[in-house]
């Protein structure tokens, strides 16, 4: 089945595709008399302004796993899944104030490079290989799978063809242009992403209200499904195992957020490409504000779809089209593609372009970061230490292409996963505790030694797996497992560091001063406003 795409829908989508490819290739061009070097390709010549950084952070983050996966979680468990977005806003403020000053001061290309400067080349290589595997087999593959699922559901295109099409689209400009092409096209992608998302939200709520508008629709959704509007789930809730009540705010979700926003190459890379630290921090602040509105375009539609499929009168009005690919508790991830069927001609093309923008921008970001890590941390370290700029950039392009090919092969194997967003978070949570422990201690505890950090990172995996599979009721929510695994990994690292250095500071420990974390009045005021808005949102939906 197709979603009833008409000529104008195809015109809108094709125009979007031409615009993105045109801008991407235009900003990628070599300037007259200048050969693209490593800084140009991997860090966009360190020239990105704050608004490009902020929008690029959101475009890299928001993908099919949010539009499809988070809408599915909204359908299944409600507004509580928005904690991932709203707590991310606060996490971004922390990253901007306490992590970025250290990273930018050290002139990093990659996050593994920090590990080398603070610890050793051996630990850097271990983490670089881990990240390459994670980006290819989890991140790239899952984004391709969910994007392919959406296109198959909406347009009736075979999933394998959809996956290949998305991969070629992302590769067309990102492989040639590098971070510059990715970041500047992300500015446009975010416009489509937000506009298309808001259109879908409006349509869903307007349909629920019988044509009386968005506000009336929201009121009816609240009245029809009040159980879907609790941020803090009770233990009796069947979804408590995924979002364990107050522990979401004070427990394991901090591990996922700090790891993702602070130490994730494809996120942090655009902040390293800023003109200056202040410019980077302003970009972080913009991303934090955008994070506050994301649930409106990715979670609320899922809740609206839940109300629609459970209201016989609405379903009767939708007719036969409403019965096609109807989402259910067992197939919650069909919620967002199902909603797109009901958009009018033209707007359907905009909404589909928004979904494609989310997928393609994330793919491009992941590809660029994967190639950056391989080129700078593996190729230049072990294969060709004296590589010139031309060789470095070419290897970056080739490694990105190979990574994409592997992900295309793996993506269809992920079929059958329900609530994919939760699945990705849960399994990433096996490896994030050890990484977070190493980085937090490396940044802020001068006594941390290299050997202790290596053992802490390695032992974190069996610790996390043991906690996952030990049948203890108290450990059942995987967020608890993630939080405890982080604390145990930190304890192992601290004990081994103390035994090795007898309590003395490590020679590579980072000197921290008050001035290092000094931020501008604009950043400080913006941060206070974000915190106030978060307090209001949590009070409203408690």
pLDDT tens for each residue of 31-47: 665 556 666 666 656 77
Residue that the structure tokens 């689209």 belong to: 169
Residues with pLDDT less than 70, the chain: 1-4, 29-45, 64-65, 320-322, 416-426, 471-476
> What's the token pair of residue 117?
């400067």
The CA-atom distances, in angstroms, between 507 and each of 107, 197, 328, 486 are 20, 50, 57, 25
pLDDT value, residue 421: 57
What number of CA atoms fall less than 13 Å from residue 147's CA on the CB side? 32
> What's the token pair of residue 31?
């300037």
d(CA 519, CA 311): 51
pLDDT value, residue 34: 55
Query: Which of 485, 468, 376 minimizes the C-alpha distance to 434?
Result: 485
> What's the token pair of residue 318?
């939708």
Query: Which of 447, 380, 450, 506 minimizes the C-alpha distance to 110?
Result: 380
Do the beta carbons of residue 159 and residue 353 sit within 8 Å? no
Count CB neighbours of 525 within 10 A.
Answer: 11
pLDDT value, residue 353: 81
Do the beta carbons of residue 266 and residue 259 sit within 8 Å? no
pLDDT value, residue 490: 95
Main-chain dihedrals φ then ψ at residue 48, nearest 5 degrees: -75, 130
- SS3 at position 169: helix
pLDDT value, residue 527: 96
> What's the token pair of residue 391?
């060789």
pLDDT value, residue 425: 66
Do the beta carbons of residue 162 and residue 147 sit within 8 Å? yes
Burial label for 232, CB within 10 Å (0-12, 13-18, 19+), is: middle
> What's the token pair of residue 440?
């937090």
DSSP 448: -
Angle between helices 83-94 and 521-540 (to 10 degrees): 160
Main-chain dihedrals φ then ψ at residue 274, nearest 5 degrees: -75, 160
d(CA 392, CA 37): 8
Query: Which of 61, 146, 153, 81 minimizes the C-alpha distance to 302?
Result: 81
> What's the token pair of residue 126?
């271990």
């Amino acid at each position: 089945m197709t979603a009833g795409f008409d000529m104008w829908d195809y015109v809108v989508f094709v125009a979007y595709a031409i615009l993105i490819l045109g801008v991407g290739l235009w900003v990628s061009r070599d300037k007259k008399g200048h050969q693209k070097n490593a800084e140009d390709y991997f860090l966009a010549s360190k020239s990105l302004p704050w608004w490009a950084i902020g929008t690029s952070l959101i475009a890299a983050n928001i993908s099919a796993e949010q539009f499809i996966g988070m809408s599915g979680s909204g359908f299944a468990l409600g507004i509580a899944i928005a904690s991932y977005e709203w707590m991310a806003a606060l996490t971004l403020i922390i990253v901007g104030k306490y992590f970025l000053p250290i990273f930018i001061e050290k002139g990093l290309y990659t996050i593994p490079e920090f590990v080398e400067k603070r610890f050793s080349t051996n630990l850097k290589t271990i983490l670089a290989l881990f990240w390459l595997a994670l980006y290819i087999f989890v991140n790239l593959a899952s984004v391709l799978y969910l994007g392919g699922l959406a296109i198959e559901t909406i347009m009736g295109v075979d999933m394998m063809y959809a996956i290949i099409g998305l991969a070629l689209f992302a590769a067309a400009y990102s492989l040639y242009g590098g971070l510059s092409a990715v970041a500047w096209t992300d500015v446009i992608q975010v416009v489509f992403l937000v506009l298309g998302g808001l259109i879908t939200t409006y349509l869903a709520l307007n349909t629920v209200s019988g044509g009386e508008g968005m506000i009336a629709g929201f009121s009816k959704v609240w009245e029809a499904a009040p159980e879907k509007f609790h941020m803090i789930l009770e233990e009796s809730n069947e979804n408590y195992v995924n979002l364990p009540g107050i522990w979401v705010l004070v427990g394991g979700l901090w591990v996922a957020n700090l790891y993702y926003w602070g130490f994730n190459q494809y996120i942090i890379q655009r902040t390293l490409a800023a003109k200056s630290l202040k410019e980077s921090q302003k970009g972080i602040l913009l991303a934090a504000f955008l994070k506050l509105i994301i649930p409106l375009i990715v979670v609320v539609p899922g809740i609206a779809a839940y109300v629609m499929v459970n209201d016989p009168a609405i379903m009767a009005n939708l007719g036969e089209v409403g019965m096609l690919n109807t989402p259910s508790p067992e197939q919650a991830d069909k919620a967002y593609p199902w909603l797109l069927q009901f958009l009018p001609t033209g707007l359907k093309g905009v909404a589909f372009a928004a979904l494609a923008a989310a997928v393609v921008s994330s793919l491009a970001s992941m590809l660029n970061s994967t190639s950056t890590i391989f080129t700078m941390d593996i190729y230049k370290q072990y294969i060709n230490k004296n590589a010139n700029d031309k060789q470095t950039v070419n290897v970056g392009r080739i490694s990105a292409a190979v990574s994409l090919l592997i992900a295309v092969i793996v993506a269809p194997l992920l079929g059958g996963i329900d609530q994919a967003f939760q699945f990705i978070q849960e399994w990433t949570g096996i490896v994030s505790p050890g990484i977070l422990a190493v980085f937090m201690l490396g940044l802020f505890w001068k006594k941390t030694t290299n050997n202790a950090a290596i053992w802490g990172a390695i032992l974190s995996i069996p610790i996390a797996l043991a906690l996952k599979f030990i049948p203890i009721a108290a450990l059942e929510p995987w967020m608890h497992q993630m939080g405890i695994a982080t604390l145990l990994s930190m304890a192992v690292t601290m004990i081994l560091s103390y035994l090795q250095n007898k309590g003395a500071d490590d020679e590579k420990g980072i000197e921290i001063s008050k001035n290092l974390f000094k931020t501008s009045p604009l950043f400080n005021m913006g941060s206070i406003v974000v915190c106030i808005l978060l307090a209001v949102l949590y009070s409203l939906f408690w």
